[in-house]
Amino acid sequence: MAMSLASERFGIAVLPTSCGDAAPNPRVCCIKITPQLDRGVSIVTRQAATLSEAARLMKGALTRRHPKTSSDSGITLIVPFPPNGPADRYARYFAQVFSEKIERRVSVDNAVGLGGLLGVHKITRSAPDGLTIGLAGTGATVFSCLGNGDDLFDVFHDVTYLHGLVNVPNILLVGSHVAAWRMTDLIAQARMRPGRYQIAHVGQGSLSVLADLFQKKTDLLLNARNYDGLMPAMTDLMKQRVDIVFAEAAGAMSAIRNDVVRPLMVAGYERPSWLPNTPTCEECGLPDVFADGGYCLVAPTGLKDDIQHWLIRAIVETLESPAIKHDFMSLGGTPDYRTGNMYVDYLKSEHARWRALNT
């Protein structure tokens, strides 16, 4: 009956796809929407007939909400960092809720290498069909442009910035073996013993750059020790093999709460709610020793507008869910509600700021 009403009276119907497949009618056409692994819906309209204004608007709204990305395909979320690390944990929390929102499978692909550059490069080389998105950190989007990385892609021309994902504070830590409970203590001792303390240079992103900037702004002589990732640096800090580490919240929370490391400064302008007694860089008299942590969500260029809008809407709904807020907070982060355009503006300002600091 519904098929008959669509062809003869109303001109449009929304039906399970199986209805259109099971009862073909030469007087109607079926437009499949929301292709998924387990079910689909079709808009049925009269063939070669002008739709009413209401029917036309309904058809347009439904097809925009569920663009054709591919039939029965899941989405791949590329994470340019190792499994079980801080970024990977944020990504997997996001993927789980995002999958529920879009009612599709979301698989995580860890594409590790070059401090996060390799994974973002893989995203830029993927097809612009909405089936591949991924994380990008400041190592790939800011510091690679300052001469610290390979020119695998152009951060403004080869990347579509969909939305922010998570804000993560960076924290200066010392090991429990270091007799410093305030930043002034650490600076005073390091000046009395030039070259005595070792500071970790972690990766190629903000944590490594902060270590350099800290020495420059305090005029301290510290011995640098390079690490590919935060986890081995934290292990050496707890085993007293290194004295100072700039760390992301997720990689440091457990050690801080167990009193095996000591936070002396937040490399940001606000104290995290879980570190209310740790001063900011500005409060320590080091306002330039500041670098945003966190990650954004990106895709290749060339996305169709309807696919991009659909992805962004689902991302926003995911970030607004109580589950994401709770899970991100458990790792010391907070959802980042900046739009893609806002994130591009932020990157441009960061490029200018770091170039000025490096001159």
pLDDT of residue 204: 79
pTM for the full model?
0.77
Asked if residue 49 belongs to a domain, the reply is: yes
Whether residue 45 is contained in a domain is answered as yes
Distance between CA atoms of residues 164 and 122, nearest Å: 19
Please report which confidence band the pLDDT of residue 86 belongs to, taking 50, 70 and 90 as the band edges.
confident
Chain segment 233-265, per-residue pLDDT in tens: 999 999 999 999 999 998 999 999 999 999 999
**54-58: average pLDDT:** 57
Position 42 confidence tier, pLDDT thresholds 50, 70, 90: very low
Asked whether residue 244 falls in the same domain as residue 104, the answer is: no
Higher pLDDT, 106 or 84: 106
In this structure, is residue 134 part of a structural domain?
yes
End of a domain among 47, 65, 83?
65
Among 216, 246, 266, the domain boundary falls at 266
Residue 272 placed within a domain? no
Whether residue 24 is found in the same domain as residue 161: no
CB 280 within 8 A of CB 268: yes
- Mark which of 10, 32, 65 sits at the end of a domain: 65
Q: Are residues 193 and 119 in the same domain?
A: no
110 & 94 share domain: yes
242 and 227 co-located in one domain? yes
Taking the C-alpha atoms of residue 233 and residue 337, their distance in angstroms, rounded to an integer, is 30
Same structural domain, 84 and 105: yes
Is residue 282 situated within a structural domain?
no
CB environment 165-180: b (16+ within 10 A), e (fewer): bbbbbbbbbbbeebeb
Domain match, 198 and 111 both: no
- Clarify whether residues 164 and 174 are in a common domain: no
DSSP lists the bridge partners of residue 262 as 174
The answer to whether position 70 is within a domain reads no
Task: Specify if 283 maps to a domain.
Answer: no
Structural domain that includes position 50: 2-65
Say which DSSP state 78 is in. E
Cα distances (angstroms) measured from residue 244 to each of 173, 179, 224: 6, 12, 10
Q: What does the alpha-carbon distance between residue 138 and residue 87 come to, in Å, rounded to a whole number? A: 12
Q: Are residues 188 and 250 in the same domain?
A: yes
What integer pLDDT is reported at residue 54 of this predicted model? Answer: 58
Whether residues 226 and 152 share a domain: the answer is: no
pLDDT top residue among 131 and 356? 131
Give the chain's domain count.
3
CATH number at residue 138: 3.40.190.150
Domain containing residue 220: CATH number = 3.40.190.10
Mean pLDDT confidence for 81-105: 95
One domain, residues 39 and 111: no
In whole angstroms, what is the distance from residue 357 CA to residue 203 CA? 20
Same domain assignment for residues 38 and 53: yes
